[in-house]
Amino acid sequence: MKAVLYDRHGTVDQLYLADVPTPEPAPGEALIRIRACALNGFDPMMLAGTTGLRIPFPMTPCGDAAGEVAGFGPGTDQAGRQVGDRVMIDPIIEGRGMLGEKAPGAAAEYLAVPLGSLVPIPDGVSFEHAAALPVAYGTSLRMVEDRARVQAGETVLILGATGGVGTCCVQLCKRLDARVIATGGSSGKLDRLRAIGADHVLPSRSNELVRLVREITGRPRYHDPESGGVDVVINYIGGATWAASLKVLRFQGRMVTCGATAGYDPSTDIRYIWSFEQTIIGSDGWSRAGLVRLLAMVAEGELEPVIHAVRPIEDVRTAMGELMRRKVFGKSILTL
Ligand SMILES: NC(=O)c1ccc[n+]([C@@H]2O[C@H](COP(=O)([O-])OP(=O)(O)OC[C@H]3O[C@@H](n4cnc5c(N)ncnc54)[C@H](OP(=O)(O)O)[C@@H]3O)[C@@H](O)[C@H]2O)c1
């Protein structure tokens, strides 16, 4: 079968398509013919080796995938599943870890996974849309609804809102009737952020974030809940945006993070945390119930995944390169 591999950390030049043995499903596993997989922000980090995580080589990228059941391991209780069933794979595999991170990922024609990792795809949801959802949309749903608990009428600042997680956060916050301020890296991306519902857009590469946000919301005042500022910052960028975010949060505002694209050990300003009684919230991963709900939302036309491009797997270097150069809006899908 075809699979994308890399043997060491580096740039897109390390990625290559190889002919490798098709995996044999073990008892309790299904063999999945992958039809679509998706890149995430962590794929370039894994390839470049910037996370500090030790990963097994050769590595295959992509945590997200959707496809068809092609077979079962010997003696497997199929639990009602049939060859040909359309399924999404929940990317954290019991005993193996995260696909594309601890375990070889889904940019391959076949993957053998435990039956418990399969989530049925409802009719009317394409493989491409299903593959867009698990990591980015699953994480966004948990972060916006369960962890930050965004409420109608609140103002939410979403930094680097143009990727998979960010575009989903914009959509979810708008569904909740929040006001969204979103940052993006080019005028084209800012237009697209407006088109998916952002109320205000700001350049993400500006070092005047604090002034620009305060122009929209007013200035937060110490111990004054009626003053300006945003109620929630969704900040998975980290780096220099971290301390700036504290300065635009309303009194008793909250900042939620699920990552640190621009650096995980930024300087901060603890004075804002105590004097404005701010809450810093971590959010990690997704729930199975969240994935099922997202698939249902897409099936019912309530949510449309934002797709940057759908390309054949042979174009993996182009797709990964775009992600590294911040040229992506939404999800980058590869088909097999
Ligand atoms: N904990 C979890 O369970 C979990 C799950 C999913 C994702 N995450 C994390 O969430 C973050 C977003 O994921 P994603 O897949 O949406 O990523 P992404 O698509 O690669 O990035 C999101 C946006 O960040 C901006 N960006 C990229 N590189 C940057 C840099 N060096 N400095 C500042 N901004 C940069 C880009 O926006 P502009 O170019 O438009 O500014 C990009 O569109 C990542 O840190 C990822 O690791 C965590």
Indicate which atom in ligand 1 lies nearest the CA of residue 139: 5
Q: What is the mean pLDDT of the chain?
A: 97
For residues 278 and 171, what is the distance between their CA atoms, to the nearest angstrom?
Answer: 25
Q: Which residues pair with 230 in a beta bridge?
A: 249
Burial 226-265 (b: 16+ CB within 10 A, else e): eebbbbbbbbbbbbebbebbbbbbbbebbbbbbbbbbeee
Q: Report whether residue 176 contacts ligand 1, using a CB cutoff of 6 Å.
A: no
Give me the pLDDT at residue 52, please.
Answer: 85
- The residue length of the chain stands at 336
Give me the pLDDT at residue 141, please.
Answer: 98
Average pLDDT over residues 80-108: 97
Q: Report whether residue 164 contacts ligand 1, using a CB cutoff of 6 Å.
A: yes
Give me the pLDDT at residue 153, please.
Answer: 98
Mutational pocket test of ligand 1: of 261, 265, 287, 331, the residue with most ligand atoms within 8 Å of the beta carbon: 261
Q: Among residues 89, 71, 82, which one has the least CA distance to residue 29? A: 71
Q: Report whether residue 290 contacts ligand 1, using a CB cutoff of 6 Å.
A: no
Contact 325, 308 (CB under 8 A): no
Give me the pLDDT at residue 9, please.
Answer: 97
Q: Which residues pair with 33 in a beta bridge?
A: 68, 110
Q: What is the pTM of this model?
A: 0.97
Say how many C-beta atoms besides its own lie within 10 A of residue 154's C-beta.
20
Give me the pLDDT at residue 131, please.
Answer: 98
For residues 287 and 112, what is the distance between their CA atoms, to the nearest angstrom?
Answer: 21
Indicate which atom in ligand 1 lies nearest the CA of residue 167: 16
Per-residue pLDDT at 60 exceeds 90: yes
For residues 253 and 327, what is the distance between their CA atoms, to the nearest angstrom?
Answer: 31
Per-residue pLDDT at 51 exceeds 90: no
Per-residue pLDDT at 191 exceeds 90: yes
For residues 174 and 196, what is the distance between their CA atoms, to the nearest angstrom?
Answer: 9
Quote the ligand 1 centre to 41 CA distance (angstroms): 5
Quote the ligand 1 centre to 236 CA distance (angstroms): 7
Q: Among residues 266, 242, 271, which one has the least CA distance to residue 256? A: 242
Give me the pLDDT at residue 225, please.
Answer: 87
Average pLDDT over residues 23-34: 98
Domains along the sequence of the chain with CATH: 2-134+286-335 (3.90.180.10), 149-282 (3.40.50.720)
Per-residue pLDDT tens over the stretch 133-176: 999 999 999 999 999 999 999 999 999 999 999 999 999 999 99
Average pLDDT over residues 62-87: 97
What are the φ and ψ backbone dihedral angles of 290, each rounded to 5 degrees? -65, -40
CA 48 to each of CA 43, 232, 259: distance values in angstroms, whole numbers, following the listed order = 9, 31, 16
Q: Closest Cα to atom 30, ligand 1: which residue?
A: 262
Contact 109, 23 (CB under 8 A): no
For residues 132 and 65, what is the distance between their CA atoms, to the nearest angstrom?
Answer: 8
What percent of the chain is modeled with pLDDT above 90?
98
